[in-house]
Amino acid sequence: MKTYQTMSKDELTSLKTDLEAKYKEFQGMGLKLDMSRGKPSAKQLDISMGMMDVLNSEVSLQCEEGIDCRNYGILDGIKEARELLGAISEVPADNIIIYGNSSLNIMYDTISRSMTHGVMGSTPWCKLDTIKFLCPVPGYDRHFAITEHFGIEMINVPMTNEGPDMDMVEQLVSSDDTIKGIWCVPKYSNPQGITYSEETVKRFARLKPAAKDFRIYWDNAYSVHHLYEDQQDFCLEILEECEKAGNPDIVYKFTSTSKISFPGSGVAAIATSKNNLADIRKQLTLQTIGHDKVNQLRHVRFFKDLDGIHEHMKKHADIMRPKFEAVIDILEKELSGLGIASWIKPRGGYFISFESMDGCAKDIVSKAKEAGVVMTGAGATYPYGKDPKNSNIRIAPSFPTLDELKQAAELFALCVKLVSVEKLLE
Ligand code: PLP
């Protein structure tokens, strides 16, 4: 097979005519598909419906400690929920505070508090001229949106297949005290599905930040979200590593059951050192008398323990795996060997990260949209929506049905070919 780069102008021109005809056919099909966000499909939501039955007017709503979950109280969350979320996060229940329905909300809140009140007694960030965050790229658009919202300057750090470029992280963090944080999705990262290596986690734990209020924002959104039972990624537990390295307060670890039970109606938590938890509670006690304990109870009674979570996640994987494999198969069949694209086959998480030829991503996404398939906006995986190479596209295979997804992936591959040919003919 010839790569597009080695084709003559005439060959490319005739290829373009063929591809345009195929594209017209797709346009005539009236597709209306959404591959833009990492939402579970309705079938995935159905597997958690038993949660609706575990609580009813007949059952006791007392938690294990004998407190009535229908009433106010328990700022940190009920013990059994802290144990369950602790098990998911691989930390002791005493290192956890349960919040409401969204981990993103906790991340926003954590940054907001640092802006207005500082971190463990340090100067509030709003009183400083410049605040910076490191952003491993490609990364999660909503992380970048939070830091942008607060006027925090974002610095791109390239991802490697072991996690962020740690030479760069160490150098920047140790030399610049305006750098106050780094966004990390350490397991099955969004969008690349990369899991940080043991060495990367250890280097994070050993960081020597110039700013004493520097924190690692460790977003453990996909900790139990494997696609394959026999090929699971493993990520070293960071809280323990930080403690061993004499850096116990350097990390905030976030988690939620959004993509375990119901996104938007799950349970979210922060895990961190006792010192950080005490700092957080000072604000939390003013913000709320307590989060939704009925939902915490519902989750614990449905899942019971970590084994229950793993059994449940296998059901998600059974639905997700064929979708990921269908997309990867189509990409391989249609695009491999052409010299115009590369992608990562993940073992978990919610996304496939795709790299087009430089300068093509925006056009590919808009061509797909014109034929009825909505993808995540090109550039979204970079701070300020600016992908310097205009090449990364995040594919989210979870929401459409398998048949729809196959059509969408065929169209996507066609758009990649067409835009690449157009680029080479420029
Ligand atoms: N973190 C990452 C990396 C995500 O991909 C997502 C959702 O896509 C979230 C957080 C959102 O989590 P939550 O629903 O708990 O706010």
Domains of the chain: 4-44+310-425 (3.90.1150.10), 61-304 (3.40.640.10)
User: What confidence score (pLDDT) does residue 1 get?
Assistant: 79
CB distance 147 to ligand 1 below 6 Å:
no
**What gap in Å lies between CA 150 and CA 285, rounded to an integer?**
23
- Residue 374 makes CB contacts below 8 A (sequence gap 6+) with 33, 34, 35, 36, 368
Q: Whose CA is nearest to atom 11 of ligand 1?
A: 104
- Residue 301 makes CB contacts below 8 A (sequence gap 6+) with 54, 55
CB distance 104 to ligand 1 below 6 Å:
yes
CA dihedral 272, 278, 280, 283 (to 10 degrees): 170
Q: Is the peptide bond before 136 cis (omega within 30 degrees of 0)?
A: no
Q: What would you report as the CA-atom Rg of the chain, rounded to the nearest whole angstrom?
A: 23
Rounded alpha-carbon distances, angstroms, from residue 191 to 349, 392, 396: 8, 10, 9
CA 263 to ligand 1: nearest atom: 14
Please, is 316 exposed, middle or buried when counting C-beta atoms within 10 Å of its C-beta (0-12, 13-18, 19+)?
Answer: buried
| Alpha helices for 102-165 (secondary structure H) | 103-117, 141-149
The pTM assigned to this predicted structure is 0.97
**What gap in Å lies between CA 161 and CA 192, rounded to an integer?**
9
Residue 270 CA, ligand 1 centroid: distance in Å = 13
Sign of CA dihedral 70, 76, 77, 78: negative
CB distance 255 to ligand 1 below 6 Å:
no
- Residue 383 makes CB contacts below 8 A (sequence gap 6+) with 135, 137, 139, 144, 147, 148, 154, 156
| Residue 17, SS3 per DSSP | helix
User: Complex ipTM, two decimals?
Assistant: 0.99
CB distance 258 to ligand 1 below 6 Å:
yes
- Residue 101 makes CB contacts below 8 A (sequence gap 6+) with 256, 258, 264, 265, 266, 267, 268, 292, 295
Nearest one of 141, 224, 139, 218 to 184, comparing CA atoms:
218
What does the pLDDT profile of the chain (426 residues) look like in tens digits?
799 999 999 999 999 999 999 999 999 998 898 888 899 999 999 999 999 999 999 999 999 999 999 999 999 999 999 999 999 999 999 999 999 999 999 999 999 999 999 999 999 999 999 999 999 999 999 999 999 999 999 999 999 999 999 999 999 999 999 999 999 999 999 999 999 999 999 999 999 999 999 999 999 999 999 999 999 999 999 999 999 999 999 999 999 999 999 999 999 999 999 999 999 999 999 999 999 999 999 999 999 999 999 999 999 999 999 999 999 999 999 999 999 999 999 999 999 999 999 999 999 999 999 999 999 999 999 999 999 999 999 999 999 999 999 999 999 999 999 999 999 999
Written as six digits, the tokens of 65 are 């400690």
**What gap in Å lies between CA 16 and CA 212, rounded to an integer?**
57
Pocket probe for ligand 1: among 39, 85, 104, 188, the residue whose CB has the most ligand atoms within 8 Å is 104
Residue 260 CA, ligand 1 centroid: distance in Å = 11
Residue 67 CA, ligand 1 centroid: distance in Å = 30
Residue count (the chain): 426
**What gap in Å lies between CA 64 and CA 83, rounded to an integer?**
12
User: What confidence score (pLDDT) does residue 37 get?
Assistant: 83
